[in-house]
């Protein structure tokens, strides 16, 4: 009896035990299987009922034996007096017994809470079957058009990387000899090893206006050693983005002219967005498989772009990574980016807007239902902000592209698709 009392007493103090399925739950009165805390002590259903009935009747029992019967599951009916004494000993209190009125009130409370929960549940946003279908289609479209083995990259004209110091020297001395070598990672970490402001200025002054710095007569076209490879990469990516766009539900309902207008103005933004998948925060590079296809800021400057684009672009990539988007959110954002009604040349703005609105609702619903806190906090707003960032990146890219394609020896390194999409200054 003593041991049972202690066991029940201990479990009473530790309410967590009530939820711990590994701890045996034993009635502190009779040793039978307990069902939980009743009137302040761990007991079985039988002893719970016995205590309530006794208290309600204000019953007075007397022990037919010596007043110290050992209560067990089997003999608990034999001596009510000792059973009740045991109940009080393990801490059962009549104050815990509810009056009939209280029982009724409690029942009503439980009913009310259940109803409230049901209402809440019915009001909670749910991803409809149709919305889920949109998500599934976009996921499939993306997986079909984004090869994360990057195995096609070896079909591009190969990357040619020039040692940065050598490059600077060559540019300053206007030497016509070009030394090329394949890249090893230490050559091109000018950006990630906390660059000094002066380096930005240097890069800016070096590459900011290459039209005046690399005249055709001095072997200018070979300056941009990464241009052929990256032009092929961009051209390839354009094709993949077109393939993705065509699978966006609703996109094919647009006129051919509107499809082209949307793609022409958004494709560079989508390329920047999708490239986030290969962006690596550890070394601030786009890592597409082997070291040959690991692109750092310096590689892109060797394709004719400068820090005015690359600094905000890397910032954008870092910001995107930190959002930790689900793939569902990533593909929806790309689709929303493409279906922007305010792009130049779009005729049927209401239809584009309707398609974009539907995608935005899917994205918001998805975030509410599937993105757990704290990552979901303001996530939709942050994603829309990223679209605004992309607009200025797009603008800066166009500016730099115009300078780049101005020179025939540069534009001849591009591909017909790139020239068609981004424009050809010569023609």
Q: Cβ closer to Zn ion: 63 or 368?
A: 63
Site for Zn ion in 62-121 (CB under 5 A): 63, 65, 69, 79, 82
Q: Is 47 in the site for Zn ion (CB under 5 A)?
A: yes
Segment contacting Zn ion by CB under 5 A, of 24-32, 135-143, 161-169, 288-296: 24-32
Q: Cβ closer to Zn ion: 87 or 138?
A: 87
Angstrom CA distances, 407 to 124, 236, 392, 396, stand at 58, 22, 24, 18
Q: Cβ closer to Zn ion: 80 or 145?
A: 80
What's the min distance (Å) between Cβ of 34 and Zn ion?
7
What's the min distance (Å) between Cβ of 123 and Zn ion?
44
Q: Cβ closer to Zn ion: 69 or 242?
A: 69
Q: Cβ closer to Zn ion: 44 or 307?
A: 44
Q: How far apart are CA 73 and CA 29, in angstroms?
A: 9
Task: Say whether the peptide bond before residue 329 is cis (omega within 30 degrees of 0).
Answer: no
Looking up tokens 């399925």 gives: 21
Site for Zn ion in 236-275 (CB under 5 A): none
Segment contacting Zn ion by CB under 5 A, of 40-48, 129-137, 272-280, 281-289: 40-48
Q: Is 4 in the site for Zn ion (CB under 5 A)?
A: no
What's the min distance (Å) between Cβ of 31 and Zn ion?
7
Which of these, 159, 175, 169, lies nearest to 220 by C-alpha position? 175
Q: Cβ closer to Zn ion: 71 or 337?
A: 71
Segment contacting Zn ion by CB under 5 A, of 23-31, 92-100, 211-219, 239-247: 23-31
What's the min distance (Å) between Cβ of 52 and Zn ion?
13
| From 4, 32, 223, 396, residue interacting with Zn ion (rule: CB under 5 A) | 32
What's the min distance (Å) between Cβ of 8 and Zn ion?
10
Q: Cβ closer to Zn ion: 37 or 295?
A: 37
What's the min distance (Å) between Cβ of 28 and Zn ion?
8
| From 44, 135, 300, 331, residue interacting with Zn ion (rule: CB under 5 A) | 44
Q: Cβ closer to Zn ion: 69 or 160?
A: 69
What's the min distance (Å) between Cβ of 54 and Zn ion?
13
Segment contacting Zn ion by CB under 5 A, of 41-49, 269-277, 303-311, 405-413: 41-49
What's the min distance (Å) between Cβ of 65 and Zn ion?
5
Residue 124 half-sphere exposure toward CB, CA atoms < 13 A: 12
x-marked contacts with Zn ion along 166-205 as a string, rule CB under 5 A:
----------------------------------------
Q: Which residues of the shown chain bind Zn ion in the complex (CB under 5 A)?
A: 27, 29-30, 32, 44, 47, 63, 65, 69, 79, 82
């Amino acid at each position: 009896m003593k041991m049972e009392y202690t066991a029940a007493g201990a479990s009473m103090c530790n309410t967590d035990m009530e939820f711990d399925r590994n701890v045996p739950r034993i009635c502190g009165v009779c040793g039978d299987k307990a069902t939980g805390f009743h009137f302040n002590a761990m007991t079985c259903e039988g002893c719970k009922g016995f205590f309530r009935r006794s208290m309600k009747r204000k019953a007075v029992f007397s022990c037919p034996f010596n007043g110290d019967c050992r209560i067990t599951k089997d003999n608990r009916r034999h001596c009510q007096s000792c059973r009740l004494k045991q109940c009080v000993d393990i801490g059962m209190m009549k104050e815990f017994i509810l009056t009939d009125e209280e029982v009724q009130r409690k029942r009503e409370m439980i009913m009310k809470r259940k109803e409230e929960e049901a209402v809440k549940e019915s009001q909670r946003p749910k991803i409809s079957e149709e919305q889920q279908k949109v998500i599934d289609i976009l996921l499939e479209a993306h997986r079909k058009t984004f090869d994360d083995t990057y195995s096609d990259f070896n079909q591009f004209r190969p990357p040619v990387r020039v040692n940065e110091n050598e490059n600077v020297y060559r540019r300053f001395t206007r030497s016509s000899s070009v030394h090329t070598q394949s890249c090893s990672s230490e050559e091109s970490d000018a950006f990630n090893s906390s660059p000094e402001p002066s380096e930005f200025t240097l890069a800016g002054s070096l590459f900011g206006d290459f039209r005046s710095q690399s005249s055709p007569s001095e072997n200018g076209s070979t300056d941009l050693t990464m241009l052929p490879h990256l032009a092929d990469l961009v051209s390839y990516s354009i094709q993949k983005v077109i393939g993705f766009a065509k699978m966006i539900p609703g996109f094919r309902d647009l006129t051919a002219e509107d499809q082209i207008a949307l793609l022409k103005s958004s494709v560079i933004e989508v390329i920047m967005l999708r490239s986030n998948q290969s962006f690596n925060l550890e070394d601030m590079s786009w890592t597409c498989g082997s070291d040959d296809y690991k692109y750092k800021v310096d590689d892109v400057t060797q394709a004719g772009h400068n820090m005015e684009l690359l600094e905000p672009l890397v910032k954008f990539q870092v910001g995107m990574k930190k959002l930790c988007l689900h793939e569902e959110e990533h593909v929806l954002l790309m689709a929303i980016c493409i279906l922007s009604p305010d792009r130049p040349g779009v005729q049927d703005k209401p239809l584009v807007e309707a398609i974009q609105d539907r995608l935005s609702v899917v994205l918001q619903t998805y975030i509410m239902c599937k993105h757990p806190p704290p990552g979901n906090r303001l996530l939709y707003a942050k994603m829309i902000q990223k679209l605004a960032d992309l607009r200025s990146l797009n603008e800066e890219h166009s500016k730099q592209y115009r300078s780049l394609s101005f020179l025939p020896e540069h534009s001849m390194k591009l591909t017909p698709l790139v020239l068609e999409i981004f424009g050809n200054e010569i023609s």
